[in-house]
Amino acid sequence: MNNLIKSLMLIFVFIPVCKGQEENISNLPMRKNSLTLLSPSKHYFYPRPVYQLSLTPQQLGHEIDGVMKQFKRIENSIENIFKDDDKYPLMGGSFRIPIWSAIYVNLQKTNINPEFSVTKKLPYAVALSFMGQFDEAIQIGLQLIELDDNNYGAMVFLGMHSAQRKELFDYLEKAFKHNPIKTIYLLDWQSKFLKIEVDDNTSWDFVDSYLRLIIENQNIIEGQPMQLGTAITLSQTIIAKYYCVKEGKRELIECDDNFKRKINRTRRYLNLMIQKQNRKEK
C-alpha cells in the first residue's frame, strides 16, 4: 500500500522544460500549443506535460475514485489505443491514465490469485512504462511477440522503447510497414504523453532513424489522410531536426541531394494534409 501511495504522489510532479530544450526550436515557427520538443541532442523526443495539477486531498480522492469506477473501461481503452486500425488515440490527455497505471501495477504485484494475472497483457506493459519500469515493460512486450510475432500492438510498443534500446527499432520498422499511419499516430501519442527515459549524452539518434523511416517510405503514406495535429507535429519535428537558421533564413542542414528532395516531398505532403484538414474545420 505504501508503494501505491508513493506512486500516486509522483504522478502529480510537474516536469519543467529546460532552457536548452527551448533553444532547440526558438528560431523556428512553432504553434503555441505545440507539445513535442526534441532533446538537446535532437536524438529523441522530450514530452512536455499537457497538464499541471494542483489538487486538494479531497479532489485527489475524487479522481482516484473516478478511476476505480472506470477501471476496466480504462484498461479496455488502453488496449484499443494499440489496435491495428487507423484511429488516433483519444485518451492521451487524461491524467487518469497514470493514476490507473499506478493502481494497476501495484494491484498486480500484490495479487496472490493467478487467475487474475494480467502480466502478459499489453495494458500491463503500458502501465509499467507510465510508472517508469521500462525493463519489465519491454520484457512483457517481447513475451507477447513470442506468442504471436505478428502482434501489431506489441511491435509498436517495443518500437516506442527503441529510443532506449536500439535493437528494438526493428519492431518499429515492422510495425510501420504493416500500418504506417497508425504507427505514426502512436509515436505522436507517445512523444506527447509517455516519457521514456533516455540518457541524452549516450543516446543513439532515434529521431533521425524514425524520420528517415517515414521520409524514405513517403510513397507508402502518400494519399492517405492524416490527423491534423499529427501532421503539424510531424512537420515541425522535421523542421526542428533537419533545418537550421542562418542569417535569419531557414536552411536544410548538410545532406545529400536525394534526401533533400525526399524531405521536401514529405513536407509538401504534410502541408497538403494540413491544408485539407484546416478547410474541413472551417
Q: Flag whether 15 is in a domain.
A: yes
Model confidence pLDDT, tens digit, residues 209-263: 999 999 999 888 887 889 999 999 999 999 999 998 887 788 888 888 899 999 9
Q: Flag whether 62 is in a domain.
A: yes
Q: Flag whether 210 is in a domain.
A: no
Domain range holding 8? Answer: 2-204
**Distance between CA atoms of 196 and 264, rounded to whole angstroms?**
30
Per-residue pLDDT, 110: 73
Q: Flag whether 91 is in a domain.
A: yes
Q: Flag whether 269 is in a domain.
A: no
**Distance between CA atoms of 38 and 202, rounded to whole angstroms?**
15
Per-residue pLDDT, 245: 81
Question: Is residue 98 predicted with pLDDT exceeding 90?
Answer: no
**Distance between CA atoms of 138 and 279, rounded to whole angstroms?**
41
Q: Flag whether 282 is in a domain.
A: no
Closest CA to 132 of 233, 11, 256, 232: 11
Q: Flag whether 264 is in a domain.
A: no
Per-residue pLDDT, 193: 84
Q: Flag whether 106 is in a domain.
A: yes
Task: Please give the tally of structural domains in the chain.
Answer: 1
Regarding beta strands 249-252 and 36-38, do their DSSP bridges make them parallel or antiparallel, or are they unpaired? unpaired
Q: In Å, how far from its chain's centre is CA 278?
A: 24
Per-residue pLDDT, 89: 85
